[in-house]
Structure 1
C-alpha cells in the first residue's frame, strides 16, 4: 500500500475536518497518481470531497464505524479486518491510503511508500501524520524542486519504508 497526503512543516494534515490548504498542483498530483487505482479513506474524508461523493475513475473503499452508513459508488467497510478482506484481490501497488488521520494511523504499518506534498509553512492543525523524517522506519528517497502557488512554497517528496512492513492477510 501507499499513503498519499499533504502536510505542513510539523506534519499537520488538517484542521476542523478540512485540508490545511488547497494547492491545485497537489490536487492534480493526487488525481493523476490515484486514477485507475484503489483509494481507501474514512467517511469524514469522503465528506470533504466535492458533493461528498466517491472519486471518479477509482475504486473507492470507505471506512466507517457506523454499520448503517452507505454511499453509492463505493464499498463501505466497518473494520480493518473487513477492509483487508475487501483488499485481497488487489496488489499493494494499486492501493492508496488517502486519509484522514485515524485511517493513516491504522494503515501506515501496511504501507511501503508515502507520497507527501510538504508545505513549507506551519498552520493551525488538529490532525497530524507521523513525522517520517524522524522515524527510524522511513527514509526520504526523492525530494522534488520547491514550487510556489498562492505564495505557498511546497515540494513533492517520496518516502520508503526501510524496515519490513506489516503483511496484509491474503
Structure 2
C-alpha cells in the first residue's frame, strides 16, 4: 500500500482538524493519485473533507472505534467502516480476492496522524507534498528524510518546485 500526505518543514500535517495550507496543486496531485483507489482514513480526517463526506470516485474505509459511526459519502463514493486495524486488514484482503484490488498499488493511506502511524510499516511507497514553510501544527508525519538518510527509505522522485498562494512546495516520492 501507499501513503499520501502534505507536510511542512517540521513534518506537520494538520492543526485543529484542518490542513496546514490550501494548495490547489497539491489537491490536484491528491486527486490524480487517489481517484479509483481504496482510501484508508480516520473519522476526523473524513469529517475534515468537504461536507464531511467521502470523496467521489473512490472507496473509503474509515477507521473508527465507534461501531455506530455512519460515514457519509458524496455521490459516486463508497464508504465502509472498520472498527479496528485487524478488521480493516481483513476487509482489504477480502477486496483483493473479490474485487481484484492490488494491495500495493490500489490502497492509499490518507491520515490522520494515528492512522499513518498504524499503517506506515505496510506502506512501500509514500507520496509527500513538502511545503517549504513552517506552520503551527498539532499533528505530525514521521520524518522520512531521517529514514532516507539511515537507508530505510530512498527518494525515488522529486518534482520541480511549485508555488500556490505564495507558498512553495514540491512532490517527493519515498520508497522502501
Interval of TM-score (by shorter of Structure 1 and Structure 2): over 0.9
Distance in 2 between residues matched to 1:3 and 1:28, nearest whole Å = 16
> Unaligned stretches of 5+ in structure 2?
73-77
Moved over 4 A (4+): none
CA-atom RMSD, angstroms?
A: 0.9
Give the C-alpha shift of residue 35 in structure 1: 0.4
Residue in 2 aligned with 1:165?
A: none
Residue in 1 aligned with 2:66?
A: 66
| Equivalences, count | 161
Residue in 2 aligned with 1:19?
A: 19
> Unaligned stretches of 5+ in structure 1?
162-170
Question: Structure 2 matches for 1:3-42, cutoff 5 A?
Answer: 3-42=3-42
User: Secondary structure of 1:5's match?
Assistant: strand
Residue in 2 aligned with 1:147?
A: 162
Question: Structure 2 matches for 1:40-51, cutoff 5 A?
Answer: 40-51=40-51
Q: Whose helix proportion is higher, 1 or 2? A: 2
Question: Structure 2 matches for 1:86-165, cutoff 5 A?
Answer: 86-88=91-93, 89=96, 90-91=101-102, 92-135=104-147, 136=150, 137-161=152-176
Give the C-alpha shift of residue 138 in structure 1: 1.4
* TM-score of the two chains, using structure 2 as the length reference: 0.89
* TM-score of the two chains, using structure 1 as the length reference: 0.92
